[in-house]
Amino acid sequence: MSRDYINLSRAQDLKNPKERFLYRFFETVSALFSLGTLSSVFLISWLAPAVIAVFIIIFDLYWLLKITYLAFHQVVSWRQMKRNLEIDWLEKLNLLPARNWQEIYHLIILPVYQEGIEIVEATCQSLLDTAYPKEKMIVVLATEERAGQVAQKTAKEIKKKFGSKFSRFLVTVHPKDIAGEIAGKGSNEAWAAARAKEEVIDKLSIPYQNVIVSGFDIDTKAGPQYFGCLTWYYLTTENPLRASYQPIPVYNNNIWSAPAFSRVISTSGTFWQMMQQERPEQLVTYSAHAMPFKTFLEVDYPRNIVADDSHIFWKSFLYYNGDYRVVPLHYPVSMDAVLAKNLFRTALNQYRQQRRWAWGCVEIPYLLYGFLKNKKIPLWEKIRHSFIVIEGFWSWGTVALLIFFLGWLPLILGGESFNVTMLSYNLPRITSYIMTTAMIGMIVSAIISQLILPPRPSRRSRWKNLSMILQWLLLPITLIIFGTFPALDAQIRLMLGKHLGFWVTEKVRK
């Protein structure tokens, strides 16, 4: 059977009209579920307000239990991250009896577009400051031809400063307008990895299974023991070539400069990844993930997709017939919160970034179609993963609205006959009690956010610490404006066939 379905990115890639129609239908699934839910709540609130009122109470109770469950995982994950930060991973590697860990090389790819030299330099310096032997680190500064001469000038200056500090330091230039590619991070990484293979790894005759490749956003800073931790997990994981390795992204680089809404969204993303680390059966690769170079080449890193970080996991999952997973590292890497030159631009960039992340809904048609074509993955695994992915994007596009606003619809649309009932009288009180109790999740997040904060810069007032706590009062609004709306935006675009191009988040340090 042909395995061409592994390389699909959209319905138009299929030549068979029936197959194209089926894939096109799958592209509408996420929007149909989300919009269907929201419209049904309006309709039923008008036609059967008592039914929707009971549903809202049950729904709120369900989310109270889920928030409690996730808060527990958040605390456990934070404690594990704290323990992992205290470990001397190189010393731990020296105790491994089976393999010589010093045979392992790290290929670190840094895609760069038009970011300032201060951003690129800080990232390279963080690599230099790690404890892992630099003679086992191959760094690739992956530039874009379309970025122009300013980017090449930056790359030249960075290579001059760091070129002799690692085993190899390459600067690659990804050509523009390559047929079959989407301009963006994924295609740039694939190009850079091919150059590193040809110019370094093959020339040095390094076995591919001895190379771990990490794709870092250009603002990513690795901690001192990060590569030691990654190497230890790689060498101790059963069948390490069938796994990716995921750190926890912590948006701390510029957290003291970012506005409150940006801090809340960024920290919420960190906490979600922390929770997922405690649920590895649901964990999918995200920013700064690592994978074996041998696997990277076999699967062929995607060049034609915007959401490459998650797509490479699902592509590997299909390629290896379900025998692929993500290993949580419980170790942080530091990245930038969204910050631009002014507040309005920051808000606009935050929305665009969330919409780009929500564009991961393209994985729904890719998975559903791939699961139909792949006969070797167990049926239960197909059902389980399909449910998790669809439910995840459905929640992203609906839950905040359902919890914080739509609970009032039966009172507004239900009419006088409903408004005089005991259920109508008690509905706002019951939901208020449930949501007040659910604030336990927000309280846990506020506490942990303080524990993972970097030291306050001397130029920032002490009152800034108070704002770091009070910012969580913005959570309901930020979840809707920078969560629900961009998610629905992405899902509707996919349903209409208006595919999203790659958008590079502006990087600003103040």
Nearest to 219 by CA among 334, 338, 93: 334
Q: What is the DSSP letter of 240?
A: G
Chain centroid offset of residue 101 CA: 29
Share of the chain above pLDDT 70, in %: 98
Mean pLDDT of 474-497: 93
Q: What is the pLDDT of residue 4?
A: 85
The pair of structure tokens assigned to 423 is: 């259920």
Q: What is the pLDDT of residue 98?
A: 65
The CA dihedral of 292, 298, 302, 303, to the nearest 10 degrees, is: 110
Q: What is the pLDDT of residue 381?
A: 95
Consecutive H or E run containing 106: strand 105-111
For 46-81, write each residue's pLDDT tens digit: 888 888 888 888 888 888 888 889 889 999 999 999
Decide if pLDDT at 140 tops 90.
yes
Distance CA 364, CA 366 (A): 5
Task: Give me the chain's average pLDDT, please.
Answer: 90
> Pick the residue with more confidence: 459 or 238?
238
Q: What is the pLDDT of residue 2?
A: 65
For 331-385, write each residue's pLDDT tens digit: 999 999 999 889 999 999 999 999 999 999 999 999 999 999 999 999 999 999 9
Q: Is 454 helix (H, G, I), strand (E, B) or coil?
A: coil
Distance CA 245, CA 453 (A): 24
Confidence of residue 129 (pLDDT cuts 50, 70, 90): very high
What amino acid occupies position 460?
R
Mean pLDDT of 275-283: 93
For 391-446, write each residue's pLDDT tens digit: 999 999 999 888 877 777 787 877 777 777 787 777 777 777 877 787 788 888 88
> Pick the residue with more confidence: 506 or 15?
15
| Residue pair 486/354 in contact by the 8 Å Cβ criterion | yes
Distance CA 416, CA 439 (A): 32
Pairing, β 221-222 against β 325-334: antiparallel
Q: What is the pLDDT of residue 241?
A: 96
Q: What is the pLDDT of residue 464?
A: 81
The pair of structure tokens assigned to 393 is: 């994007």
Distance CA 347, CA 260 (A): 11
Q: What is the pLDDT of residue 242?
A: 97
Decide if pLDDT at 135 tops 90.
yes
The CATH superfamily of 89-259+283-356+366-387 is Spore Coat Polysaccharide Biosynthesis Protein SpsA; Chain A (3.90.550.10)
Mean pLDDT of 33-56: 89
Q: What is the pLDDT of residue 167?
A: 93
Consecutive H or E run containing 441: helix 439-451
| Residue pair 104/231 in contact by the 8 Å Cβ criterion | yes
For 168-208, write each residue's pLDDT tens digit: 999 999 998 888 788 788 889 999 999 999 999 999 999 99
Q: What is the pLDDT of residue 64?
A: 86
> Pick the residue with more confidence: 442 or 1?
442
Decide if pLDDT at 1 tops 80.
no
> Pick the residue with more confidence: 509 or 29?
29
Confidence of residue 327 (pLDDT cuts 50, 70, 90): very high
